[in-house]
Structure formats: structure tokens, C-alpha cells
Amino acid sequence: MRFSKLFAPTTKEAPKDAVLPSHIYLVRGAFIAQIGSGIYNFLPLGNIVLQKIRAIVKEELDKAGCQEVLLGFVTPSELWRESGRYSKFGKELLRFRDRKENEFVLGPTHEEAMVDLVRNRVRSYKQLPLNLYQINTKFRDEARPRYGLLRGREFLMKDGYSFHESVEDMQREYALMEKTYSTILERLGLDFRVVEADSGAIGGSGSKEFMVLADNGEDDIVICKSCDYAANVEAAVAKDEFVPDDEVEMSSGDFHTPDVSSIEDLSNFFKIGKAYLVKAVAKKAIYEDREEIVIFFIRGDRELQETKAQNSVDALELEDIGDEELEKAGVPVGFIGPDIEGFKIVVDETLKDRDNLICGANRKDYHTIGYSFKDKAFDFADLSLVQAGDKCAKCGGELEIKKGIEVGHIFQLGTKYSEALNATFLDREGKAKPFVMGTYGIGVSRLVAVVIEQHHDEKGCIWSEATAPFKFDIIISNRKDSEQLAFATKLYEEMQEAGLSVILDDRDERFGYKMGDFELIGFSYAIIVGKSLKEGEVEIVKRAGLERERVPVNEVMQKIREL
RNA sequence: CGGAGUGUAGCGCAGCCUGGUUAGCGCACCUGGUUUGGGACCAGGGGGUCGAAGGUUCGAAUCCUUUCACUCCGACCA
């Protein structure tokens, strides 16, 4: 490729609203261009990178025995009604009608479509297992697209679905996919963790996320410093080392505590550790057909983890409620205790069987001391947010919290969709059984941004070997210098013939301009053909680190082959 | 979805409050010349239905109404 012919309108200025390095450099470097909210065009450079990543994903999946298919981006709504997700998926699902008033959706994920493809075509256990995937455009009408390619509405995703005759076989495939995904991310040069995850809207019995570590990540992940335990904070558990002190003795009864309602104040007021206090958090739980106030109780030294709380009451969503609304509903704000009546209650596990506690007395300005959970029949569940410094449940080591970007998610799906869509096969006994399924996703276009999020400097992109749009960038310092032009052109042709990935910057621009583009776009190496040519040398610059090395012209080809 | 903003040349912005000939600046672009190892300089030039629709007015980028788009904070989210 000659740079003079490449459609790569790089810019010196960043888009005004871009804050993340990946967003800024991908736009400035002419990889992508926004066309609508959360919708991006890929320019030649961006498309080269995207296709390279796509190819790696495909290669590893094919190696693992998966088969690529391509499903319609537009899906009849009928299928979504059948699975019950038409109403549940919410506004993220973009719906529309055709000229005949038939309803369609733009596929945000393709469980329904894939099950439909397989049902009635795979009839016997002899045809199993089967793992089908596609790398296709997805559309999710996100409430708030942002961060460039990291959270778009339209994006390229690899989604795979496997079909099995048993849970055991599905779990075998699940493990294989974990390994395959790890290989893909390793090939892309990413620092990532496989973490235990919440299964969210997709459902199923177990799932793991692939998190690329990045300071700008939107997810909090819990990582053990001593063993391999890692989990999304939504699913993380910690070992609770708190042991109540036998010395603590409380009389029982209500105590007048005017204007003392926060945990901080209570702890000071009673001169006692927060772990002896019971914290109440009220939320509004939203269900498909109703909403209700739920009160969660956790130990005073812990925070409520909202996803866990939501799962504990099986709600679609949890919303915050204002004090005013709570009071209207009869909740004694600031003085709520577990014995409150008329509301759904869930209590954190760490409070089970505890006594000598202080909690709200369910009337204004009073707290109950000496409260005991012993022999009480509450719904207990893990509701606690794991925090940095907590101890690992697996090995007792110290846990830390890091930021991550989710690039993949694998699910042990079970029969959720095969049952809903009545997709069955005949087992060894000739009985019809629903397929046991797994589902696996990788955000391909998101990976483009993630690579940069993890690999950049103050000048621009630093693509990994596997993702660089071109490996070598031959820079002609001054193309009016006929020697430079001739040598660079000859080198370019030689390298092309040798099958190397090379671009020749033959533009009539100044040296600084071309170097700037090299650094911004992030080719792996620049080969500068300039002043030093008179001394029989060229300069090779490695993008990562920007180290320079002078190489005699007759050794250039050999040197390049070694890189 | 709640809150807050912004739409003027390809990009970044000024002008609007206080209406008045021809709508301006920087970058980018075109032509010519000089330059050529860190995003050059000089001279000349092209490019706008001022987001859209309606209204007020002798006169609207500017005031009013409606609408669309985009962005930010939050809620939410492979």
C-alpha cells in the first residue's frame, strides 16, 4: 500500500467529546468515524484491524470444532414472542414493521434465531454435539451509548451456541470455549482475567466473563493476590473473617436515639464496631407486572451489592426510592429494623444466627439493642459487596479490586431456550428431550478499542503484532530527494515481494507530519529513509517504546526479516 | 429514562444577550512560489440553504413556538 493512495484522513485535533484514549486515537488516526449516536463507520485502517481480529477469532473457533454460519440481522418478532423475551428485553430491542405491517427486531443476540435454525433439523443425539457461531452485526438500542467503540449501539460480535445431549457434555464444551477464548485474547496481546460472573438477562446456571484489565473499564472485578480466584464484583464472594467478641454483652430493649440514624452516627453513639449494627437499605423492585418495596438488611460494616440484591428477589430491576416516598409507604426512614411488617425482606447471610446486635426499632428516634437473628425465619442471601482488603474465600489471601472491560462472556445455558422454543432431539432411549445449550460471545469491534485502551502512549496507538494495520511503515523523509525516493521504493517493492506487511509513506509532506502519523496510527515499525542514507544507513523505529536503531542499507532486508 | 447542554464551512469555534448592508476566525482544502529530520512559510483562492419547520418584524444566525439530532452527569447495560 502506498500512503499517498490510502484513504486515511488523520487529524491533529480530537473530537471534542472523546475522553478515552481508544476513542480519541481511533478517530484521530482515521480508523473509525461516527455517523450516529453509538454507530460508527470503519475506514480502511479500522477495517483492516477489525478483519484481522475477526480472522483470529474465526481461526481459533474453527480449530475448536465450531462451525461458522450467518444468521439474518433482521429477525421476525414472532421468535422473540415465543421465547418470552419480546416483552422482557426492554427498549434495547429495536422493533419495527415492514410494508406489510409484519413486526421485526434487529438482533441484539441470537439465541432464538439459532435455536430456530437447529430445531427440527437436528433430530437425534447422534447429531450432537453441535457448536455453531456467527460473526455478525448486532444492534442494541443502548440508553446511553458512549466511549466510542466500547459502548456502541451497533457493533460486531461473535456469538456462538452449542447443543448437547447432557449437562456434562455441555460443561465439557464450556471448558473448551474458556480455553479457546483465552487463546484468542492471548494472541491479541491482551492482559485479561477470566472471572466468575452474574448471568444477567441471558440466564443459565453459570457464566464467566473475560475481562481485559484497563483503568477506564466500566466493571469492577475482584482479584485474589495469592490464588487464581477472580470474579465480577456482581458475583464475587469473600471469606468473612469477622468473629463476634464474646465480651460484648447487651441488655435488650429499645433505646432513645434522637437524630441518630446513620451507621456512622450509631457507631459513635453506642461506641461499638459497625459489625454490631444492622443496616437497612430499601429499594423498589420492578417486576414484569408489578413493583414493590423490598428492604435489605446487611451488617453495618458492609455495603449492599445491587446485582446480588436484585437476584435475591428475582426482580427485573431495582430502583432507588426517595425518603419521601418511603415515608408515605409507612417506612420509618432511618430507624428500620428487621421485624418491620408489611414489606418483603431479605437479610444478608453474615447476619444469620448473630445476636447482640443493634438495629432500628421501627419507630422514629428509637433503636433496638440486643437484637438476635437466632431462630428467625428470614430469607437469607449473600448481599454483601466485596471490597478491597477482604479475604479470598478460596485461599484466604488478600483481595483487590481492578477495573476491567468485558470482551467475552460464556454461559452454561441449560434448556432455557430449547424448552421455550420447544427444540428437542431423540435421546438414546428414543425419548424427546430439549437440547442442553451453552452460549458464548465475544465483542469483536469492542476488541479493536480494547487493544488500544491497553496499548497506547501519549502519541497514539501501539497495536500488537497481531493487530497492526501494517507492520512496517517506510517513511521517505523528503520525496524530492531522488536517492531517498528510489531507495525507499525499491525497498518497498522488495518487501512486498517477500510477503511482508508494508506501507510506503510517499506523500509529499514534511518529515514531522509523517512521523506524527506513524506514531498516531501505530504501525509496528517505521523504516526512515532520510538524511542518513548518504552515510549508507536507514533508521528503524519500533513503535512500542520508540527506540531507534541505525542499520546499514545492505543489511536492512535481513534485519527486517528478524523483526 | 431523569437532569443539564450544544447545533453556524470537513474539524474546532466566535457572532446571538442588545435584530440592521456582504456571517467571521484557526486548522484543513485548491493554485503558484520558497522550504524539507518532528505536524513549515509567503501570496492568491474556493467552500455556508447559520440543524429543520413555523411565527413576530420593514428586516432574523440573533426574539418566540414546535421539532429533530448530538453530547455530558446519573440510572441502566453482551
Dihedral sign (CA A443, A454, A62, A194): negative
A416: helix, coil or strand?
helix
**Cβ of A12 near strand B (distance < 7 A):** yes
Whether any strand B atom is under 7 angstroms from the Cβ of A482: the reply reads: no
**Total domains in the fold of chain A:** 3
CA A145 to C1' B53 (Å) is 29
**Protein CA A419 to sugar C1' B34 (Å):** 78
Q: Is residue A2, in this structure, part of any structural domain at all?
A: no
Residues A365 and A424 in one domain: no
In a domain, A548, yes or no: yes
Q: Which of these three, A364, A381, A398, is where a domain ends?
A: A381
- Helix A444-454 crosses helix A44-63 at what angle (to 10 degrees)? 110
In angstroms, the CA of A448 and the C1' of B41 are apart by: 39
Boundary (domain end) residue, out of A344, A363, A381: A381
Other Cβ atoms within 10 Å of A524 Cβ, number: 21
Strand B contacted by A88 CB (< 7 A): no
CATH number reported for the structural domain that contains residue A304 in this entry: 3.90.960.10
What distances in angstroms separate CA A54 from CA A14, A49, A137, A447, one per listed residue?
Answer: 27, 9, 12, 10
* Nearest amino-acid residue to B37, taking CA and C1': A511
For CA atoms A153, A159, A165, A167, give the dihedral sign.
negative
Contact A503, A474 (CB under 8 A): yes
CATH number for the domain including A72?
3.30.930.10
Closest C1' nucleotide to A16's CA: B12
Both A196 and A66 in a single domain? yes
Would you call A445 helix, strand, or coil by DSSP?
helix
Query: Is residue A155's beta carbon less than 7 angstroms from any atom in nucleic acid strand B?
Result: yes
Q: With a 7 Å cutoff on the CB, does A480 touch strand B?
A: yes
In a domain, A244, yes or no: no
Range of the domain at A195: 23-206+407-453
C-alpha cell at A305: 451489592
Cβ–Cβ under 8 Å, residues A304 and A385: yes
The Å distance, CA of A544 to C1' of B32, is: 41
Regarding whether A274 and A188 lie in a shared domain, the answer is: no
The verdict on A175 and A28 lying in the same domain is: yes
DSSP state of A262: S
> What's the full length of chain A, in residues?
563
- Asked if A457 CB < 7 A from strand B, the reply is no
CA of A5 to C1' of B10 (A): 19
- The gap between A324 CA and B5 C1' (Å) is 29
Instruction: Tell me the nt nearest to A441, Cα to C1'.
Output: B78
A92 strand B contact, CB < 7 Å: yes
Distance A486 CA to B31 C1' (A): 28
Last residue of a domain, one of A426, A453, A480: A453
State whether the beta carbon of A160 lies below 7 angstroms from any atom of strand B. Answer: no
The CA-atom distances, in angstroms, between A10 and each of A27, A28, A502, A520, A550 are: 8, 5, 19, 8, 28
A24 CA from B26 C1′ (Å): 21
Residue-by-residue DSSP string for A309-377:
HHHHTT-SEEEE--HHHHHHTT--TT---TT--SSEEEEEGGGTT--SEEEE-SSTTEEEEEE--TT--
Per-residue cell: A365 = 428516634
Residue nearest to nucleotide B13 (CA to C1'): A16
Pair (A359, A439) in one structural domain:
no
Contact between the CB of A282 and strand B at under 7 Å: no
- Beta carbons within 10 angstroms of residue A121's beta carbon: 10
Which residues 6+ apart lie within 8 Å of A341 measured at CB? none
Q: Is the peptide bond before A129 cis (omega within 30 degrees of 0)?
A: yes
On chain B, which bases lie within 7 A of the protein's CB atoms? 1-2, 11-13, 26-27, 35-40, 69-78
The gap between A9 CA and B15 C1' (Å) is 30
Looking at the DSSP bridge assignments, the partners of residue A358 are A277, A369
CATH code for position A505:
3.40.50.800
Residues A340 and A422 in one domain: no
* A248 within a domain of the structure (yes/no): no
Q: Which nucleotide is nearest to A530 (CA to C1')?
A: B37
> Does residue A425 form part of some domain?
yes
pLDDT of residue A276: 86
Tell me if A131 sits within 8 A of A171, measured CB to CB: no
3-class secondary-structure state, position A202: coil
Whole-angstrom distance, CA of residue A231 vs CA of residue A245: 31
Kindly state whether residues A505 and A419 are assigned to the same domain.
Answer: no
- Which residues, 6+ apart, have CB-to-CB distance to A101 below 8 Å? none
ipTM for the complex? Answer: 0.91
Over chain A, what is the mean pLDDT?
90
**In this structure, how many other beta carbons lie within 10 angstroms of the beta carbon of residue A341?**
7
**Is any atom of strand B within 7 angstroms of residue A218's beta carbon?**
yes
A15 touches strand B (CB under 7 A): yes
Q: Are residues A330 and A445 in the same domain?
A: no
Q: Please tell me the predicted confidence (pLDDT) of residue A206.
A: 82
Answer whether residue A163 is part of any domain.
yes
Q: How far apart are CA A563 and CA A545, in angstroms?
A: 15
Residue A510, nucleotide of least CA–C1' distance:
B36
Coil vs helix vs strand at A443: strand
Which residues lie closer than 8 Å to A68 by C-beta, 6 or more apart? A58, A61, A62, A132, A133, A134, A135
- Is the residue at A246 inside a domain? no
Query: Do residues A167 and A35 share a domain?
Result: yes
A 360-399 residues, CB < 7 A, strand B = none
Residues A165 and A75 in one domain: yes
Pair (A307, A266) in one structural domain:
yes
Give the whole-angstrom CA distance, residue A201 versus residue A209. 14
Give me Rg for the CA atoms of chain A. Answer: 29
Q: Which stretches of chain A score pLDDT less than 70? A: 200-205, 248
- Please state the φ and ψ torsions of residue A558, each to the nearest 5 degrees: -65, -45
Based on the fold, state whether residues A547 and A417 are members of the same structural domain: no
Integer Cα distance of A519 and A394 in angstroms: 45
Q: Which of residues 286-345 of A touch strand B (CB under 7 A)?
A: 306-307, 317-320
Nucleic strand B contact set for A 497-556 (CB, < 7 Å): 509-513, 515-517, 519-520, 528-533, 539, 541, 546, 548
In eight-state DSSP terms, residue A106 is: E
Q: Is residue A228 part of a domain?
A: no
Specify whether the CB–CB gap between A446 and A149 falls below 8 A: yes
Q: Which nucleotide is nearest to A520 (CA to C1')?
A: B39
Task: Measure Cα distances from A337 to A267, A281, A362, A446, A507 in Å.
Answer: 16, 10, 5, 46, 74
Nearest to A367 by CA among A509, A441, A263, A448: A263
